[in-house]
Amino acid sequence: MRDCIKNHVKSLVTKTDVKMYPDNLTGFTVPYLMESLDVPKDELIKEINELIESRNLAVNDPYQTMACPSCGSPDPFSRVACPKCGSNDIEINGNIIKCRNCGLHAGILEAINFICKTCGKSFNIENAKWITLGSLHAVNAFDIEPIAAAIKSLGIYPKRCYTITGASGMIHRFDFAFEHNEFTRVADVEVERDTIDVKDLIEFLSKVFDSNIKEAYFIAVPKLSVSIDPGKKNIKVIEAPSINDASDKFKQILIDRGISSKIIH
């Protein structure tokens, strides 16, 4: 079964222009994805870096910019000060500065200093860190966002990459988890061009049983390689030719089961 975090990262960045800083993944990337994914920051950063290295995520419109050598932030204050005495009492003529305090003449690049807005450290052009800015773009990603949209349309906000420890002590992760009437429901989504290997369903069932989940949904697009009925009322397999069709089926099943915090007309 494919990795939950990687799948969700790729799906999310097909919908949104997510700004990123590849060297340290600060700025827009991590806060946006942290709000969307129920995963630890370090694990998320590791998965994003692996996706970039494997060329499953590309950086669009990249450009180089100066950043703090201590924390990597590309958002410093700039100031001009004497490189000898540190005085700000200077006179600028073209590319040359003259310090009115100690009399030093120096080039403007020598006199430009920066203060990091994030960590407060000072640095200059010589020891600055240079990083690449751009935005994430998913390559050949299957979009599972319609499943999240189906749950949200019923007034319920789902968690992505939900983690739970089973009775066996194993840690399991589900694509989506959502609560209604104090019960947690889970859903896994598998999307392929042809068929979904029935082994994925069996792995899903083992996770559900070990986690003592009350209600679970396995969404297979376009279909399972072998049709299997789980034989349990609380576990539903949804097969559909497209992710949008699966989303519509899923939403209707939830409505029929009374899972909604909104009045459905």
Answer yes or no: is 17 within a domain: no
Answer yes or no: is 77 within a domain: no
As a whole number, mean pLDDT of residues 213-227 equals: 94
79 beta partners: 113
Answer yes or no: is 155 within a domain: yes
The DSSP bridge pattern shows strands 57-67 and 159-165 to be unpaired
Alpha carbons 50 and 33: distance in angstroms, whole number: 16
The DSSP bridge pattern shows strands 112-116 and 215-221 to be unpaired
Nearest Cα to Cα of residue 57 among 6, 21, 2, 15:
6
Total domain count, the chain: 1
What is the predicted pLDDT for the residue at 239? 97
Alpha carbons 92 and 110: distance in angstroms, whole number: 12
Share of the chain above pLDDT 70, in %: 95
Answer yes or no: is 133 within a domain: no
CATH number of the domain enclosing 196? 3.40.1350.10
Alpha carbons 121 and 126: distance in angstroms, whole number: 15
Paired tokens of 177: 């988890």
Answer yes or no: is 39 within a domain: no
Alpha carbons 16 and 136: distance in angstroms, whole number: 9
Answer yes or no: is 164 within a domain: yes
Q: What is the pLDDT of residues 228-265, one digit of tens each?
A: 888 888 999 999 999 999 999 999 999 999 998 876 55
**Cβ proximity of 137 and 57 under 8 Å:** yes
**Cβ proximity of 227 and 127 under 8 Å:** no
Please report the DSSP string for 219-260 in residue order.
EEES-BSS------TTEEEEE-SSHHHHHHHHHHHHHHTT--
Alpha carbons 147 and 249: distance in angstroms, whole number: 10
Q: What is the pLDDT of residues 33-77, one digit of tens each?
A: 988 999 998 899 889 989 988 999 988 888 888 888 988 777 788
Q: In whole numbers, what is the pLDDT of the chain averaged over residues?
A: 89
Beta strands in the chain (DSSP E): 18-20, 57-67, 76-80, 90-93, 96-99, 105-107, 112-116, 122-124, 129-138, 159-165, 171-180, 183-191, 215-221, 235-239
Q: What is the pTM of this model?
A: 0.74
**Cβ proximity of 68 and 123 under 8 Å:** yes
As a whole number, mean pLDDT of residues 8-21 equals: 84
Residue 26 pLDDT > 70: no
User: 23 falls in which pLDDT band (50, 70, 90)?
Assistant: low
Answer yes or no: is 180 within a domain: yes
Answer yes or no: is 235 within a domain: yes
Q: What is the pLDDT of residues 154-184, one digit of tens each?
A: 999 999 999 999 999 999 999 999 999 889 9
Domain carrying residue 224: 142-265
Phi, psi angles (nearest 5°) of residue 61 = 50, 50
